[in-house]
Amino acid sequence: MERAVADTDDGRGFAGSFLGRRPLLLIGLGVLLFSTGPVIVAGASASGPVLSFWRLWLGALFLGVLTLWQIRTTGRRPDRIGWSWAARSGVAFGIHQLFFMIAIKATSVVDVTLMQVLQPIFVGGLAAVAFGERPGARFRLWSLVAIGGAAIVVLAGASGPKGNPAGIAMAAANVAFFAVYFVWSKQARDHIDTVPFLFGVITSAGVVVTGFVLVAGSPVGAIDRGSLVSAAFLAVVPGGIGHFVTTWPLRRVAANVPPVMQLALPFLAGFMAWVFLGQRITLLHVVGGAVTIAGVVGSLLSPSGRSLMTPVP
């Protein structure tokens, strides 16, 4: 049993070796799970800070149990350096969560999702400094095609401006802080296993959000049952499983690759809204989705894209 759990995180054994050679499969699954988040948040009646509070602490409970189980079965305990990486990443993630939740309530899913297509630009700049990654011109051009396709998908669902300048600014800040969290999480994987890292991240983020709701006087105890179920779903599915399958392979792929793959999020979220909420899909949705997929595939198959996708042993 000890060996099996170690294989899950370190990439040894058949399953770990198979997934280690195919990290994009896990990242693609993470993109699919993340795409459920905006629809769930928009459908919940609780305010952004209240929903974030419950989503984070329910996630901390879920990941805390898994962390205790992993430590007991493997005997591996994170050291001070590993926990420090988890803590600082959690602060960035907590600020991102607040901006994300508040921005969706202040503006619209359309506005916030449109801002998120800028994430490859934020991450690209940080990765150049942190890892020395400088993808070639073809990778960047195809990434711009994917960004344009994702923007078409988002704008296809727009019915006109719904937000305000402050909300738009918070949507942009949400993307910037998530980019910081993402780059730090890649750096942290050299120092701490995935499950305890995510537990430390969610706990630190929960402290940040708790401080905010205490100062703001948000009624966290008055959350309705439906919003609590939504928070639990966010904590386990995109928050727990989605972050695990995205974080685990970060030691094996370049930082520029996952944000480009995540440009498919608006198309996937729109499809789920059509299936589960009955929201309409127009020709622009289909065209934008096709352009996005073409851009993602083109960037990944470009010479520098193939180099970036080469799994690191």
What are 2-38's pLDDT values in tens digits? 333 333 454 445 445 555 567 888 999 999 999 888 7
In a domain, 310, yes or no: no
Q: Please tell me the total number of residues recorded for the chain in this structure.
A: 313
pLDDT at position 215 is 92
In a domain, 109, yes or no: yes
Over residues 204-217, the mean pLDDT reads 94
Residues 128, 129, 130, 132, Cα dihedral to 10°: 50
pLDDT at position 193 is 95
Please check the confidence at residue 53 and state whether its pLDDT lies above 50.
yes
pLDDT at position 16 is 53
Confidence of residue 244 (pLDDT cuts 50, 70, 90): very high
In a domain, 297, yes or no: no
pLDDT at position 154 is 64
Q: Which are the contacts of 267, defined by CB distance < 8 A and separation ≥ 6?
A: 149, 150, 153, 285, 288, 289, 292, 293
pLDDT at position 15 is 47
Over residues 132-146, the mean pLDDT reads 86
Which tops the pLDDT comparison, 156 or 219?
219
In a domain, 288, yes or no: no
pLDDT at position 23 is 83
Over residues 254-274, the mean pLDDT reads 81
Q: What is the pLDDT of residues 63-94, one digit of tens each?
A: 999 999 999 999 999 999 999 999 999 999 99
Residue type, 270: G
In a domain, 293, yes or no: no
Q: Which domain holds residue 76?
A: 2-135+163-254
Q: Which are the contacts of 232, defined by CB distance < 8 A and separation ≥ 6?
A: 54, 58
What's the whole-model pTM score? 0.82
Confidence of residue 185 (pLDDT cuts 50, 70, 90): very high
Q: What is the pLDDT of residues 96-130, one digit of tens each?
A: 988 887 887 776 666 676 677 778 888 888 888 88
Q: Which are the contacts of 127, defined by CB distance < 8 A and separation ≥ 6?
A: 133, 183, 254, 255, 256
Our count of domains for the chain comes to 1
Mean pLDDT of the chain: 82
Here the tokens at position 67 are 């962390």
Which tops the pLDDT comparison, 154 or 8?
154
Q: What is the pLDDT of residues 158-171, one digit of tens each?
A: 544 444 667 777 88
In a domain, 273, yes or no: no
In a domain, 276, yes or no: no
pLDDT at position 311 is 57
* Helices marked H in 11-77: 13-21, 23-34, 37-43, 48-74
In a domain, 281, yes or no: no
* Helices marked H in the chain: 2-10, 13-21, 23-34, 37-43, 48-74, 80-106, 109-116, 119-130, 137-156, 165-188, 194-216, 225-236, 243-247, 257-261, 265-277, 283-301, 303-309
